[in-house]
Amino acid sequence: MRQKIRRGIILVSLLLFPVTLNYFSPYVSIDGAMHGIISGSLLLFAFMFVTSIFFGRAWCAWVCPMAGLSEISLGVNNKNVNVRKLKIIRYSIFTVWAGFLVTMFVVAGGIKGVDPLHLTEKVISVDSPMKYIVYYGVLAIFIVLTFTIGKRGACHSICWMSPFLVAGFSLGHLLKIPQMRIKADSAKCVNCGTCDKKCPMSIQVSLSVKEGCIKTSDCILCGECADNCKKNVLHYGIK
Ligand code: SF4
Ligand code: SF4
Ligand code: SF4
Name the closest-CA residue to atom 5, ligand 3.
219
* Gap from CA of 97 to ligand 3 centroid (Å): 28
Q: Is the dihedral of CA 151, 153, 157, 163 positive or negative?
A: negative
**Ligand 2 mutation target, pool 183, 186, 188, 195, most atoms within 8 A of CB:** 195
* Gap from CA of 4 to ligand 1 centroid (Å): 19
Q: Is the CB of 205 under 6 A from ligand 3?
A: yes
* Gap from CA of 205 to ligand 2 centroid (Å): 8
Q: Is the CB of 119 under 6 A from ligand 3?
A: no
Q: Has residue 198 got a pLDDT over 90?
A: yes
Average pLDDT over residues 233-239: 92
Write down the pLDDT at residue 32. 96
Euclidean distance between the first and the last CA atom of the chain, given in angstroms as a whole number: 24
* Gap from CA of 53 to ligand 1 centroid (Å): 16
State the DSSP string of 76-117.
Answer: T------HHHHHHHHHHHHHHHHHHHHHHHHHTTS--EEETT
Q: Is the CB of 220 under 6 A from ligand 3?
A: yes
pLDDT level of residue 239 (50, 70, 90 thresholds): confident
Q: Has residue 72 got a pLDDT over 90?
A: no
Write down the pLDDT at residue 128. 85
Rounded to whole angstroms, the Cα distance separating 80 from 36 reads: 42
> Which ligand 1 atom is at minimum distance from the Cα of 67?
5
The Cα angle at residue 157 between residues 98 and 226, in degrees rounded to 5: 115
Write down the pLDDT at residue 121. 84
Rounded to whole angstroms, the Cα distance separating 153 from 63 reads: 18
- Closest C-alpha to 96, from 151, 166, 163: 163
pLDDT level of residue 126 (50, 70, 90 thresholds): confident
Write down the pLDDT at residue 201. 95
Write down the pLDDT at residue 75. 79
pLDDT tens, 81-116? 888 989 999 999 999 999 999 999 999 999 999 999
> Which ligand 3 atom is at minimum distance from the Cα of 198?
7
pLDDT tens, 5-56? 999 999 999 999 999 999 999 999 999 999 999 999 999 999 999 999 999 9
Look over the chain and give the mean of its residue pLDDT values, rounded to a whole number: 93
